[in-house]
Structure 1
Amino acid sequence: MASTNFFADAARRVLGIDHQGTQSPPGYLPHDDFIDPYEEQEPTVGEWLRSLMPTKEGPLRYARSIFLCAEWLPRYNLTWLLGDSVAGLTVGFVVIPQAMAYALLADLSPEYGLYTSFVGAALYWIFGTSKDIVIGTTAVGSLLVGSVITTVQEQRPGIYTNEEIAKALSAVSGMILLFIGLVRLGWIIEFIPYIPISAFVTGASITIMLTQFPVAMGISGINTREAPYLVIINSLKGLPRTRVDATIGLSSIVLLFAIRYLCAKMETRQPAKKMVWAMISSLRLTFAMLLYTFISWLVNRNNSGPSPFRIVGKVERGFKHAGAPPMDKDLLELVLPKLPAVVIILVIEHIAIAKSFGRVFNYTVVPSQEILAQGASNLIGTFVGGYVCTGSFGASAVLSKAGVCTPLAGLLSAVILVLALHVLTSVFYYIPNAALAGLIIHAVVNLPTPPRTLYKYWRLSLPDFFIWVIGVVLAIFTSLEISIYVTICVSLALFLLRNARTKGEFLGQASIYHLPANDDDHPSSPDTTPRPVYLPLTNTDGSNPAIPLTTPHPGVFIYRVPAPLSYMNQAQHMHRLVKHIKTYTRAGSSNTQQLDKGQWLWSDPGLPAKGLATAEEGLPWLRAVVIDCAAVGDGLDVTSVQGLVDARAALERYAGGEVEWHFAGVDGRWARRALGAGGFGVPRGERDAEKESTGWYVVGKRAGDGTREKESSEDETSMEEGRGRKEKWVPVWRLDRPCFHVDLAEAVQAAMVDARRAEKREGQAGR
């Protein structure tokens, strides 16, 4: 160990590194035998690297975290099986019409929706952390797939089929999501704000309803891939071309809403049968599809010519489209520009649904694991013919209401989908397209953000409200991709601006008194012992302006940094700090010569006009600076520490001597290390180490007794009692950096003590 220190010291001397510049002056530590020494171990690069190294148990723990089903499958029981069976079968019947309808929205034939939902239901239980999630087709995801297919077909018409484009998009999306999940990068979704997603979902749902309107009305010749406002304009112009499809489309919408309304009313009137009515409401989509399919069959069974309304037609039986996804280089180059929007929406939609159910039913959702389940479903789904899938809110709500117990319910839903693909394809032939369009419109009508939520946005944050409006307008008048990209960029720019322009506050001291309540819960007279608090001098916090705020001591300034200090905001903080202190103090000190006008910098504000401050003007000399770092957190970058060093140098030149800097609430070890490396934490002026105990904040009565009863070394009576009892006092932080303080009150007290001692020394020197 000694040899290591020797070589380290030798290397510092050769490289010219001043390692001692950040240490306390010799003899500063106390010699009282009743205070135990404490040497805080600073964090090191080796410690940081070791924290990143895998442990022996790491691979096994990682494998268990991947296959979470291994934790609960051994505890599976008959009660769970009963609940999962009912829920899984119910969702299976609900998903069938939804999946087929959404596949048409993606410009694919209906069976592709069934393939997609089958894979999500069959795989999610292996990886998922939510019992209520159903992975399958969604309206928004299908709309995005349809948009990508349209774009590729416009650029390379006829070269690739719609199915090939959809499978390539799903395969690449699955790879990306699988990678994010495996390396546990689920936390990156926190960088995507909620407001852009809310605006996107609203814009997408409006787009879906507008694009399905001409289908429900039987209006032909409408390009539904144009901007939504053009679709509705052209649809209105095409109303004279309305066909009999409108009867089916409009009546299906009315029927679905009527069933939902009736079931909701009956749930209220018959609470004992609430579950039954909820189940009927959940199956309304299936009932509507069966009804209109039966009507279509009656109309077309003996019809040798074309159907009077458009129907789905032939649906392939089984998994006829199974196979490896196409990975053609040219196709991938066409798909890649659309991937960011697709991946973002898939992840956000899924995690938002999973977390909402987790909050309701009191279980924890792991984002990385959910993304892993998504990635597996999207990648493996392409081999059986599926396209991109994510959590479906409608199907998940049905699963939850049906009394699901574990994620295994999805496997039972997959069984229903397999049966539908092998047994019911002949029935699917007669499904009217207008009925599917009505189903889609009914399914997405509740997705737009309701007015009460918009009003909440207005009250919570005006900038976020306007970002939402921008996103919806762009979605309707341009495209969904432009909407999501612009709103995310604007939100991130607003976030950076808020952090870069955080405004620090100078604080004043006020005395407050506790107002206890008596036995009748009425206020009684305040306590007579005051407690100091520190409030912004500018009253920006909304505190009562009638409360007088004072400086704790002339020349002592308290500055609060309200956010992490970084390269983005340190310049304005340091400028504000130095400018304010120069404005409210006079240059030099009582034992230095007053500067003449020729020595002032031309850039000092107002000084040439006002002249030099004199003692008669009442401005104090600068004594100490207290920085409240409670919001700074752990870790400071080089620019922020250098900004503090430069501010200290500027103020010491202004004051004509060294100025004490005290830091309150620097809780992070790396932050204390960074400030210590910048020369902070140690006293700047001449001090009597034997007599100065300022900053030695201690806890407990005896070292090693395990107690943590807080006391303070400022209490001389307690210290004298400690000497008499031979008890030890234990410091919270290292004693050789007494300018780092546990809280603001202790930092201000230490700064006041320093100021008084400086005044005393200057008075003695004057005599």
Structure 2
Amino acid sequence: MSSMGDPADENLERKEMDVRNLSSSHGQEPYVHKVGIPPRQNLFKEFQSTVKETLFADDPLRSFKDQSKSRKLILGIEAIFPIVSWGRTYNLTKFRGDLIAGLTIASLCIPQDIGYAKLANLDPQYGLYSSFIPPLIYAVMGSSRDIAIGPVAVVSLLLGTLLQSEIDPIANPVDYRRLAFTATFFAGITQATLGVLRLGFLIDFLSHAAIVGFMGGAAITIALQQLKGFLGIAKFSKKTDVISVMHSVLSSAHHGWNWQTIVIGASFLGFLLFAKYIGKKNPKFFWVPAIAPLVSVVLSTLFVFLTRADKHGVAIVKHLEKGLNPSSVKEIYFTGDYLGKGFRIGIVAGMIALTEATAIGRTFASMKDYQLDGNKEMVALGAMNVVGSMTSCYVATGSFSRSAVNFMAGCETAVSNIVMSVVVFLTLQFLTPLFKYTPNAILATIIISAVINLVDYKAAILIWKIDKFDFVACMGAFFGVVFASVEIGLLIAVSISFAKILLQVTRPRTAILGKIPRTTVYRNIQQYPEATRVPGVLIIRVDSAIYFSNSNYVKERILRWLVDEEELVKGDYQTRIQFLMVEMSPVTDIDTSGIHTLEELFRSLQKRNVQLVLANPGPIVIDKLHTSNFAALLGEDKIFLTVAEAVAYCSPKLAEEP
């Protein structure tokens, strides 16, 4: 019978299979392996080792060892600017792939950027600004070959919602724009700080399920927000929840909708969805959905210009500022009431942008089988947003749709971002007047078609099948965004993720083990129904470290197992429980509260005339058991290498029971 599927015992299977009862017919005692005690570590070295494993597991200074000063300088420059490293092997073949990819994502980013800027309640040129400077910074400092940098829908909506709650963008556009730059500055500071201090693991506290729900809810919210431009509604709710939005839509149905705008929007939405269908049907035509938004902008703009549809109620972009990014250093709030607000908004926006970029980077890095340095990514993203905040940009990050197109177009390095940036530069310098007659409906349509893929219902179904608690986190984040606001949904996502961690820490799993027939392997009796209990011995496995947060629960749960087992034994007239064995291989650590709990368990079992036995404690645990003198209290002859050896010790004792 295979024992695969029980991860907590998998690493001991071979060792336990080799254990044999060495008792012979001459009455020889079985051989028992002594559990080793690791040498005591110096307190400073132990602390140093813990910090290194937590913050420097990748040993970033490893490559600097035994190097000359000049070599260390070069390695230091390469660590900060990876382009220096891979740039030495760059060639024309790679540039050909990057050129095609860069031109392709540029055709996609230009119309998207204009729309996303409106989503953030900023003038359309700020979206283009954010796809010019940040990609250049990232190309020099980033370590991902595939991420396409620029504004994204979710962060734009989040930023717009949070900023709008502080300043009215219509009544006070100057202060609103200044607060946006301030938030972008602190978003970059947050990201860079996490990278420098190597605290990137903090973003892992937001679970995958919560991200799926948050992204799906944000996509629905973004799509609903676009009904204003899609239907040609002039007065629209400033709130983002579905009830407020639908009330605005329905209340304006009789007098606020513009049929010409609806025709334009519906026609091009059908065109964009058809282009996406072609791209999915045949990957060779990936460029069709990539250039479809730009084609839509050109055709719709030409149509409005020729028919003068703007004279009949079709809202257009009107003015798009020409020229490169102006300096915004003096516009950032470094003092005053808005400093704290910008700092708070920046942290939230920076963390969400970082989470999205990290997820995208890891996805494509695994597809191309290369390593992504998470801390370098954070520093690069932070640097580009800090510089961006000083050059009239708002928060930029990795875009999933553009990164996917970048990947499929055959990008080789981050040079594709440079190509995209050059195209945006040319657009800002020479082409912005051509967007004057671009209808808002087409921008709304482009955003709707872009965010549809963020609603990953297949992932939600899979989450339901795998883990119901994860599904609760997913749906909590989803409904929080849809029915409340983006920040409420984000708060719910973070809260449920932390609640799951706390639940797992405070309520660890325990299991009763039984013996697999014809082996010396002991497994969970619920997973392996053929596993048989050892008469007179209750074997319990604790699947977690034992800390102050869960030690009382562990003790109470073990005693409940014992009471239940004693009732079962009495009913079946079996041998009473004389030994309670705790299998400790999954117990990676134990603190003073855990030791105290074992002492209480030991005394409680003594009163019941039941002996406590331990099997396979790890090096940290066994060291603490001896240091605390618990091993002496228990008796060192009751700590065993394997469950099989512990059972072999207990069996003769049970036979002696009258």
By the TM > 0.5 criterion, same fold? yes
Flag the 1:138–1:155 CA change in 2: closer, same or farther, 3 A: closer
Q: Match for residue 698 of structure 1?
A: none
The one-letter code of the counterpart of 1:679 is N
Distance (whole Å) between structure 2 residues aligned to residue 424 and residue 507 of structure 1? 72
Distance 1:256 1:675, change over 3 A: same
- TM-score, length-scaled by structure 1: 0.72
State which of 318, 326, 329 in structure 2 corresponds to 1:321: 326
**1:631 maps onto 2:586 in alignment:** yes
Measured in 1, the distance between the counterparts of 2:505 and 2:37 equals: 35
Question: Following the alignment from structure 2 to structure 1, what is the Cα–Cα distance between the partners of residues 491 and 406?
Answer: 33
Distance 1:407 1:564, change over 3 A: same
Q: Post-superposition shift, 1:187?
A: 1.2
Q: Which residue of 1 aligns with 2:601?
A: 647
* Alpha-carbon separation, structure 1, partners of 2:564 and 2:247: 64
1:31 alignment partner in structure 2: none
Deviation string 1:380-426 (CA, Å, 9 cap, x unpaired) is: 10111100111101111111111001122211211111111111121
Q: Is 2:654 aligned against 1:749?
A: no
Tell me the equivalent position of 1:17.
Answer: none
- CA deviations over 1:289-342 (Å, ceiling 9, x no partner): 111222233345xx9x95752221222222353221332331122334434542
Q: Does 1:296 align with 2:310?
A: no
Task: Write out per-residue CA displacement over residues 452-485 of structure 1, whole angstroms, 9 at most, x where no aligned residue.
Answer: 3332222112232233333322222211111111
Equivalent residues in 2 for 1:4-23, closer than 5 Å: none
Shift of 1:621: 7.3
Contact 2:118/2:124 (<8 A) preserved: yes
In structure 2, distance between residues paired with 1:284 and 1:37: 68
Q: What amino acid maps onto 1:236 in structure 2? A: L
Do the aligned partners of 2:135 and 2:149 also contact (CA within 8 Å) in 1? yes
- The alignment partner of 1:565 has SS state of coil
Q: Does the 8 Å CA contact 1:682/1:739 hold for their aligned counterparts?
A: no
Distance in 2, Cα, partners of 1:50 & 1:576? 35
2:613–2:638 Cα contact (<8 Å) kept: yes
1:707 corresponds to: none
Partner of 1:42: 40
Aligned match of 1:521: none
Checking the alignment, whether the CA contact within 8 Å between 2:107 and 2:290 is kept in structure 1 is: no
**Alpha-carbon separation, structure 1, partners of 2:651 and 2:131:** 70
* Alignment-mate amino acid for residue 293 of structure 2: L
* Aligned residue number for residue 262 of structure 2: 246
Q: Residue 125 of structure 1 contacts residue 408 of structure 1 at CA under 8 Å; is this kept in 2?
A: yes
Corresponding residue to 2:145 among 131, 137, 140: 131
The yes-or-no answer on 1:550 pairing with 2:542 is: no
Letter in 2 for 1:283: I
Cα deviations across residues 643-673 of structure 1 (Å, max 9, x unaligned)? 11221233235439xx563331x33x32222
| Cα distance in 2 for residues equivalent to 1:83 and 1:562 | 50
Q: CA–CA distance in 1 between the matches of 2:36 and 2:561?
A: 37
One of 270, 276, 280 as aligned partner of 1:260: 276
The alpha carbon displacement at 1:62 in A equals: 6.8
Q: Secondary structure at the match of 1:531?
A: coil
1:540 is aligned, of 498, 508, 526, to 526
Distance 2:526 2:217 in 1: 38
The Cα of 1:64 is off from its aligned counterpart by: 4.6
Match of 2:94 in 1: 80
Match of 1:597 in 2: none
Provide the residue aligned with 1:718 in structure 2. Answer: none
1:311 maps to 2:265: no
Q: Does 1:480 align with 2:486?
A: yes
Give distance in 2, aligned partners of 1:333 and 1:487. Answer: 24
**1:365–1:307 Cα change, 3 Å:** farther
Structure 2 CA distance for aligned equivalents of residues 418 and 177 of structure 1:
26
Cα distance 1:565–1:37, how it changes in 2: closer, same or farther (>3 A)? closer
8 Å Cα contact 1:252-1:288 kept in structure 2: yes
Which of 215, 225, 234 is matched with 1:220 structurally?
234
Counterpart of 1:663?
A: 615
Measured in 1, the distance between the counterparts of 2:108 and 2:606 equals 74
TM-score using structure 2 length: 0.84
Q: For residue 152 of structure 2, what is the amino acid of its counterpart?
A: T
Counterpart of 1:282 in 2: which secondary structure?
helix
Moved more, 256-265 or 52-61: 52-61
Structure 1 residue 584, shift from structure 2 partner: 6.5
Deviations 1:331-357 (A, max 9, x none): 122334434542332122111111221
Q: CA, structure 1 residues 97+236, in 2 after alignment: closer, same or farther (shift >3 Å)? A: same
Letter in 2 for 1:400: F
Contact 1:661 1:681 in 2 (8 A): no
Do structure 1's residue 381 and structure 2's residue 369 form an aligned pair?
no
User: Which position in structure 1 is the counterpart of 2:22?
Assistant: none
What residue number does 1:362 align with? 369
Distance of 2:172 and 2:305 partners within structure 1: 34
Matched, 1:186 2:200: yes
Q: 1:467 is matched with which residue: 449, 470, 473?
A: 473
The answer to whether the aligner puts 1:278 opposite 2:266 as a matched pair is no
Q: Deviations over 1:510-546 (max 9, x none)?
A: 42xxxxxxxxxxxxxxxxxx2123244xx432x23xx
SS of 2:165 mapped into structure 1: helix
- The 8 Å contact of residues 153 and 160 in structure 1, kept in 2 or not, is answered as no
Residue 156 of structure 1, CA deviation: 12
**d(CA) in 2 for partners of 1:332 and 1:494?**
34
1:142 corresponds to which residue?
156
Kindly report the root-mean-square deviation, in angstroms, between the aligned alpha carbons of the 2 structures.
3.2
Q: Give the distance between the partners of 2:292 and 2:213, measured in 1 at CA.
A: 29
In structure 2, the residue matched to 1:575 is 556
The structure with higher relative contact order (CA 8 Å, sep 6+) is 2
Q: How does 1:512-551 map to 2 (within 5 A)?
A: 530-536=518-524, 539-541=525-527, 543-544=528-529, 547=530, 549-551=532-534
Structure with the greater alpha carbon radius of gyration: 1
Identical amino acids, percent of aligned pairs = 26
Unmatched runs of 5 consecutive residues or more in structure 2: 1-32, 53-58, 66-71
Aligned amino acid, residue 257 of structure 1: L
**Cα pair distance change 1:576/1:151, threshold 3 Å:** closer
Task: State the one-letter code of the partner of 1:321.
Answer: P
Contact kept in structure 2, 1:628 and 1:663, CA below 8 Å: yes
Q: Report the residue type matching 1:293 in the other structure.
A: T
Q: Among residues 656, 666, 672, which one is paired with 2:622 in the alignment?
A: 672
**CA 1:127–1:636 in structure 2 vs 1: closer, same or farther (change >3 Å)?**
farther
- The corresponding residue for 1:708 is none
Richer in helix (by share):
2
Q: How do 1:401-412 residues align onto structure 2 when only pairs under 5 Å count?
A: 401-412=408-419
Q: 1:292 to 1:159 in 2, by over 3 A?
A: closer
CA distance in 1, matches of 2:48, 2:217: 48
Paired residues, number = 604
Give ranges in structure 1 of 5+ residues lacking alignment: 1-34, 268-273, 512-529, 586-604, 607-612, 686-736
Query: Which amino acid in the other structure matches residue 473 of structure 2?
Result: I
Paired with 1:486 and 1:550, the residues of 2 have a C-alpha distance of: 44
Q: Which residue of 2 aligns with 1:563?
A: 544
Contact 1:66–1:127, Cα closer than 8 Å, also in 2: yes
Q: Secondary structure at the match of 1:505?
A: strand
Structure 1 residue 504 corresponds to structure 2 residue 510: yes
Deviation at residue 110 of structure 1 after TM alignment = 1.1
Structure 1 residue 487: Cα displacement: 2.9
| Inter-CA distance 564–248: structure 2 relative to 1 (3 Å threshold) | same
Please give the residue correspondences for 1:579-618 in structure 2 after superposition, counting only pairs within 5 Å: 580-581=561-562
